[in-house]
Amino acid sequence: MKFGKKPASKINRIRTWALSLIFIAMFVMYLGVVLFYFTKSQLLFSLFLLIGTLAFILSFIVYFWIGMLSTRAITVQCPNCNQYTKMLGRADICARCNEPLTLDPSLAGKAFDEDYNNKRKSKKLEQPRETK
């Protein structure tokens, strides 16, 4: 766990990021309306409206992308809660009970680390450390 955050499945993290983009877009557009009300600057209003619209479009693209990834994800049954969940990568977390999941026999029984899905970082994790 990094920065004391509660672990979440990859699909849920990406969906949360896309949802936050929607709220950011709404805030930017609202800020543009408020600035237009006080300054009467059509240029600022148009700029904030354009940035908000681009954030909405980016959110749509992210939602579409994670939807396509979700259709190809492997569905596994969680050994803890016995519910089915979708898994991306070598190691993931159950979307319901946050139980670490893996399909890689070499990772079975090890503590969960998000770096197992990164090829470069996982090689460093799997190598035994030399003691002097």
- Its pTM stands at 0.71
Cβ contact 93:5 at 8 Å: no
Structural domain boundaries of the chain? 10-72, 75-126
pLDDT of the chain, 132 residues: tens digit per residue: 455 566 777 888 899 999 999 999 999 999 999 999 999 989 999 999 999 999 999 999 999 999 998 888 888 888 888 888 888 877 778 888 878 887 776 666 666 666 666 665 555 555 555 554
Report the C-alpha dihedral over residues 38, 43, 47, 50, rounded to 10 degrees. 110
Element of type H or E holding 85: strand 84-87
Cα–Cα distance, 8 to 98 (Å, whole number): 7
Alpha helices per DSSP H over the chain: 10-39, 42-72, 119-126
Element of type H or E holding 100: strand 100-102
pLDDT for 112 equals 63
